[in-house]
Amino acid sequence: MEKVSLKTALGIVSVALVAFSGIMAETAMNVTFPVLTKVFNTNLNLIQWVTTAYLLAVTVMVTTSAYLTKRFSSRMLWLVSVFIFIIGTLIAGLANNIPVLLLGRILEGISAGIAMPLVFNVVVATVPHAKIGVWMGLAALVVSLAPSFGPTYGGVLVDTLGWRSIFFILLIAPILSLILGWRTVVAIERYPVKQKFDALAFSLLSIFLIVTLLVVNQLEQGRVNWLLVSIIIVTLVAFIWRGRHSKQSFLDLKLFTEVKFVALLLPISLYMFVMLGLNLIIPTFLQEVLHTSSFLAGFSLLPGSLIGAFLNPIFGRVYDLKGAKLPLYVGNWIFTIVVLIMAIWTQHLALISIIMLYIVFIIGRNMAFTGAQTAALVDVPASEKSDATAIIQTLQMFMGALGTTVGALLQAKLGGLHGFQIFGYLSIIIAILILGLIMLYFNASKKNA
């Protein structure tokens, strides 16, 4: 049986550490929102842009990953992502106002936007097919450890050394990445691109993503900016037209004509929407409604995230042995049951019950998410894998940003308790929709067999 060398393993871990760093900073900052609203004398809806700006930067940058992977070596991309992250983290840690803090977060997002798809591209390019599920799970494990530790890490530091220390201490991760990866991150096989980068398509998609979140964010004022809605429609239509007719290189939109790919792409992004929405809602609910400390609010997510992260390789192994059906169906049913309980019994939830429910939630979510992401990438031809990775990462990051925005919006408009409850009911609808998409995927698989 083919084995994965230590050098390959360390290279994968080194790249994953950069993605880990960005996600760690993002999830650690969620528990600081009540503190930052006082420090900068503003409201929660503005402060949540500390997370949303990061996620938007990741999303926009990930859209370029297919081109970057074909145009530049994986080693160069890794080094660039490390140094951009270090610069952004220093800026954020030294920020004395929100615009400077957002600049630092955007730079961190650009770094993570390079590193996150690169991790999975390296796995797909260097790991034998028989072990692809396990190593996709291991790559997800490194990245998933960030949301596991992030809220607790942030909560401890906010209560002791202050919010700025979140950034300064986090610099350990990119430095460790440099040490481990200097001799192990090597260039992977590329499919060189001869066409120029399609800057117009990139600009249209970026405008669409950013303006969409702005429109959702403005709903707190109870109004819809129809000019911005018009921009959303125009840029989306223009982007699709450009993608179908351009001779330049950006994203291969032909993947959206593949029923099997789309049927898994949507669940992947919807799982991210619900998880990042809850990752913002739960700590805020605990602090504002149950009056727990920042530490306990952050700690509430740690056991579930940690257990889910370490189970990812096992879920990958299940995929290797049994295929996608078991993890997708079982994982989604667990996910559905937990969000149903959260929605119905929101007002009766306490710290311990939230911790237990979140553990089960993450197990179900990660089981289905890992299976869906692996199956989606395995199904596409080798020459299209970087495009598939870029599309998957783009949409899941955008939906994660949207989940954060919707979560903050619901709690700002309805309060911590009712905002949590309504988000739970929304998650039930999403779970049912995902079930339908999973069924569509397996039906399409039978027809193609």
Render pLDDT for 190-206 as a digit per residue (tens, 0 to 9).
566 667 888 888 888 88
Write down the pLDDT at residue 99. 85
Say yes or no to pLDDT of 361 above 70.
Answer: yes
Write down the pLDDT at residue 162. 80
Segment 292-334, tens digit of pLDDT: 887 788 778 888 878 887 787 788 788 878 878 899 999 999 9
- The residue among 94, 143, 84 whose CA lies nearest residue 305 is 143
Instruction: Give the 3-state secondary structure percentages of the chain, helix then strand then coil, rounded to 5.
Output: 85, 0, 15
Multiple choice CATH, 6-186+249-448, 3.20.20.480, 3.40.309.10, 3.40.50.720, 1.20.1250.20: 1.20.1250.20
Which pLDDT band, with edges at 50, 70 and 90, does 32 fall under? confident
> CA 110: distance to chain centroid?
13
Q: How far apart are CA 81 and CA 70, in angstroms?
A: 16
Segment 251-263, tens digit of pLDDT: 777 788 888 888 9
Q: How far is CA 415 from CA 35, 38, 407, 432, in A?
A: 17, 18, 11, 26
Please say whether the beta carbons of 180 and 14 come within 8 A.
Answer: yes
Say yes or no to pLDDT of 161 above 80.
Answer: yes
Determine the residue type at 299: F
The torsion defined by the Cα of 327, 333, 337 and 342, in degrees rounded to 10, comes to 60
Domain ranges of the chain: 6-186+249-448, 198-248
Q: How far apart are CA 418 and CA 410, in angstroms?
A: 8
What number is the average pLDDT over the span 57-63? 81
Q: Which of 233-242, 246-255, 366-375 has the lowest mean pLDDT?
A: 246-255
Write down the pLDDT at residue 295. 75
Tell me 297's DSSP state: H
Say yes or no to pLDDT of 15 above 90.
Answer: no
Write down the pLDDT at residue 344. 93
Write down the pLDDT at residue 180. 87
Q: How far apart are CA 2 and CA 429, in angstroms?
A: 43
The owner of tokens 């959303």 is 232
Segment 374-433, tens digit of pLDDT: 888 877 777 777 778 778 877 887 787 788 778 888 887 888 889 899 999 999 999 999
Segment 106-128, tens digit of pLDDT: 899 899 888 888 887 777 777 76
Residues 6+ apart with CB under 8 A from 381: none
Please say whether the beta carbons of 91 and 103 come within 8 A.
Answer: yes
Q: How far apart are CA 341 and CA 349, in angstroms?
A: 10
Q: Which residue has the higher pLDDT, 315 or 356?
A: 356
Write down the pLDDT at residue 274. 93
